[in-house]
Structure 1
């Protein structure tokens, strides 16, 4: 079971080189939520903006998935309906809260993985460490809040 959760953490792996190429962002293992989570993720996907800020324009994702979106180069990748929680997350960890959405941050070399362990469906955002996280989280938080539900209320 733990192995399955760890594997789920690597749900989206951007494989596109960081060369500034405007081509599609290749992802492996896109989530495929069911039921209410599927509906919530489709709602979130439809609401996502074409830009997250300067240099963060929307990019095509390959293979196409309504549950994964990408912006910029190197890519910022959002996935909705990700199963499991990050192995480093514990309920007593302090989350960065933006617009009522708690984000759990994990530094992973050149990227930071932000996840929403206290919301369903879970959303994961892989953000290059060079990108100003607060601006991106502030742009996405209300959309995530409106499409998902809190598990702590």
Structure 2
């Protein structure tokens, strides 16, 4: 039996395999059935403090994205685009690549600050030190910086 939503499954797999952002950490908490307060406490214990209402906002973006829905407010378009931009940092199927580009283009129509480039290094809390910066040239085929082959 085939997966009823292969895009959703691939997004989840990428985020859970690369837990460097709030999106990935909140998805992990959702999978573990943690509430916002529990996720906030866990983040604080790990030296990456975030309030429960911040977790709730990230949970909403993750949930909308996994349901293949877009935000409607310009103020939230950039945040949702950051989840899609994070996916550009990792190898992905041609179908997911096309889905990401389509969604980012749609989000640009909602919010003017949406970018099409991979999400840079994320600092998750005051005590979190940045990783070494990735230096990848723009792809000659699609003019986007990304890991792996262009689809």
After TM superposition, the score normalised by the length of structure 1 is 0.30
Higher helix share: 2
After TM superposition, the score normalised by the length of structure 2 is 0.30
